Amino acid sequence: MDKLLIEGNGPLTGDVRISGAKNAVLPILTATLLGSTASRINNVPHLNDVTTTMSLLGRMGCQLTMGDNMQVEVDPSTINDYAAPYDLVRTMRASILVLGPLVARYGQAEVSLPGGCAIGARPVNLHIEGLRAMGADITIDGGYIRAKAGRLKGANIHLETVTVTGTENLLMAATLARGQTVIENAAREPEVVDLANYLTAMGAKIQGAGTSTLVIDGVDDLYGTDYTVVADRIETGTFLVGAAASRGKICVKDTVPSNMNSVLDKLTEAGADITIGDDWIELDMHGERPQAVNVTTAPYPDFPTDMQAQFCVLNAVASGTSKITETVFENRFMHINELQRMGADINIDGNSVTIKGVERLTAAPVMATDLRASASLILAALVADGETSVSRVYHIDRGYERIEEKFHQLGAEIRRASD
Ligand code: EPZ
């Protein structure tokens, strides 16, 4: 297994380009299954989770072609298998996103239950209940979701919890159902909007994308199309926090500032001088230490849970005391123990942490546990005296494209080594 070695050597400076969003490209790739013809998806990030999804679609009989500059063409017309086996799903929970398309277009699916992960139990009951409401016959046995359906029928679905992939699975299924589906308390994340935009380009009839109520009028067929994936707002936020924590000045390009308001507001509160353009964000700390900021995570448009670990690092070296509360997942503080080993003054109390900022952290060998926690350990290493080694880097490779190259472009002393 690989590890990353990072020297805490001063502020991040320079420009970095953002890749396509992991959490948009995954549902969009599975949504290609809904089309009767091939789609070409552009701005696809080179991530392990993307490779896994492409392997899954390939195993189902789809024809995939990788273009030379981040393009993927998916032709679902040769599909001959409607299963997502355990050995693939356990490596990537988001494989559950084939369920909606398979049931809607092919009337059958056999998808392994994703099971939990480091950050929580991650149930999929709302995905299943929603599809049942649309007429799917779903049984669960032997760790598998087995679904059968004739043509799905439109339904009124109220999601008791805001669920991103739950909204996405039901949205995809509703596009080919007979009649109208209303999804209330739907997720509003930009990645859900990007999926809705792709589905609309395929011929779907969707109203309310980006709001908490989606109205979908089912159509008889959808057609493949060309689509470019939205930029990754979490990758964007991760680099901005790295610059803020290290008292640097960077410009993040090929991104979507309007998807970042809650994060940019908190960075401004922390003392960052932020300038935004159409597709770029500049952050300048003027060499100053960040101020501690209180954060509570919640579904979009509120502060994203996927940025919580990064702000733990910012507050760990900020001036003052702060509180971070995690309301989305029940176990998303795995990074705290690692940060404490690096000298952070953090106390966990239930779903909150209290952080007293220190001037600098101290390098230590640390271990990545989940995707965003791993990225936060890199940020911590940037503001730690000495060389930090971050092991189990495969967590990072799932969701960040060429992360050490991009940090290196910003002046970080970072290199990959084998464990
Ligand atoms: C998506 O996960 C993202 N993954 C996560 O990003 C992200 O952290 C999360 O949304 C929240 O924004 C992808 O989009 C591939 P949820 P998802 O369903 O959809 C409960 C990353 O780092 N729930 O919105 O699996 C659940 O327990 C990953 O890129 C149910 O109770 O998350 C949780 O408490 C990590 N029943 C809450 O909803 C269900 O059927 C939100 O989970 C589904 C969810």
Tell how far the Cα of 10 is from the centroid of ligand 1, in angstroms: 35
C-beta neighbour count of 141 within 10 angstroms: 7
Residue nearest to atom 7 of ligand 1 (CA): 306
Strand order in the sheet with 2-7: 365-367, 387-391, 2-7, 413-418
CA dist., res. 311 & res. 245, Å (int): 9
Cβ atoms of 149 and 135 closer than 8 Å: yes
CA geometry: angle 304, 307, 312, nearest 5 deg: 125
Partners of 291 in the beta sheet?
319
Tell how far the Cα of 185 is from the centroid of ligand 1, in angstroms: 14
What is the pLDDT at residue 357?
Answer: 98
The reply to whether 117 belongs to the active site is yes
Cβ atoms of 232 and 22 closer than 8 Å: yes
Tell how far the Cα of 256 is from the centroid of ligand 1, in angstroms: 22
CA dist., res. 131 & res. 173, Å (int): 8
What is the pLDDT at residue 246?
Answer: 98
**Spatial CB neighbours of 261, under 8 Å, sequence gap ≥ 6:** 301
Judged by DSSP in three states, 407 sits in: helix
Cβ atoms of 281 and 251 closer than 8 Å: yes
Catalytic residue among 62, 117, 251, 312: 117
Residue nearest to atom 39 of ligand 1 (CA): 124
93 phi and psi angles, rounded to 5 deg: -55, -30
Cβ atoms of 335 and 366 closer than 8 Å: no
What is the pLDDT at residue 90?
Answer: 87
What is the pLDDT at residue 19?
Answer: 96
- Mutation test residue for ligand 1: of 111, 126, 161, the one with most atoms within 8 Å of CB: 161
CA dist., res. 137 & res. 148, Å (int): 5
Residue nearest to atom 13 of ligand 1 (CA): 23
Cβ atoms of 171 and 207 closer than 8 Å: no
What is the pLDDT at residue 406?
Answer: 96
- Mutation test residue for ligand 1: of 328, 370, 372, the one with most atoms within 8 Å of CB: 328
What is the pLDDT at residue 115?
Answer: 75
246: closest CA among 384, 396, 400, 386? 384
CA dist., res. 215 & res. 207, Å (int): 5
Which spans in 136-189 are helix H? 164-174
| Chain centroid, CA 133 distance in Å | 27
Tell how far the Cα of 163 is from the centroid of ligand 1, in angstroms: 6
| Chain centroid, CA 213 distance in Å | 22
Strand order in the sheet with 205-207: 156-158, 180-184, 213-217, 205-207
Tell how far the Cα of 414 is from the centroid of ligand 1, in angstroms: 31
18 phi and psi angles, rounded to 5 deg: -95, 145
What is the pLDDT at residue 122?
Answer: 84
Tokens linked to 74: 């998916």
Cα radius of gyration (the chain): 21
Cβ atoms of 266 and 311 closer than 8 Å: yes
- Mutation test residue for ligand 1: of 19, 22, 23, the one with most atoms within 8 Å of CB: 23
What is the pLDDT at residue 121?
Answer: 81
Residue nearest to atom 9 of ligand 1 (CA): 164
| Closest-lying ligand 1 atom to the alpha carbon of residue 189 | 12
Tokens linked to 196: 């809705």
Partners of 25 in the beta sheet?
none
Tokens linked to 312: 């733990």
Ligand 1 interacting residues, C-beta cut-off 6 A? 22-23, 26, 94, 120, 122-127, 161, 163-166, 305-306, 328-329, 371-372, 399
CA dist., res. 236 & res. 256, Å (int): 9
Decide: pTM greater than 0.95.
Answer: yes
Which spans in 179-307 are helix H? 190-201, 233-245, 261-269
| Closest-lying ligand 1 atom to the alpha carbon of residue 120 | 27
Q: Residue 351 gets which letter from DSSP?
A: T
Which spans in 134-179 are helix H? 164-174
Tell how far the Cα of 123 is from the centroid of ligand 1, in angstroms: 9
Tokens linked to 242: 């790295």
| Closest-lying ligand 1 atom to the alpha carbon of residue 234 | 29
What is the pLDDT at residue 375?
Answer: 92
| Closest-lying ligand 1 atom to the alpha carbon of residue 126 | 40
What is the pLDDT at residue 25?
Answer: 98
What is the pLDDT at residue 366?
Answer: 96
Give rounded-to-5 percent helix, strand, coil for the chain.
35, 30, 35
| pLDDT per residue of the chain (419 residues) written in tens, 0 to 9 | 889 999 998 999 999 999 999 999 999 999 999 999 999 999 999 999 999 999 999 999 999 999 878 899 999 999 999 999 998 888 899 999 999 999 999 999 999 998 777 788 889 999 999 999 999 999 999 999 999 999 999 999 999 999 999 999 999 999 999 999 999 999 999 999 999 999 999 999 999 999 999 999 999 999 999 999 999 999 999 999 999 999 999 999 999 999 999 999 999 999 999 999 999 999 999 999 999 999 999 999 999 999 999 999 999 999 999 999 999 999 899 999 999 999 999 999 999 999 999 999 999 999 998 888 889 999 999 999 999 999 998 889 888 988 999 999 999 999 999 97
CA dist., res. 118 & res. 114, Å (int): 13
Cβ atoms of 198 and 33 closer than 8 Å: no
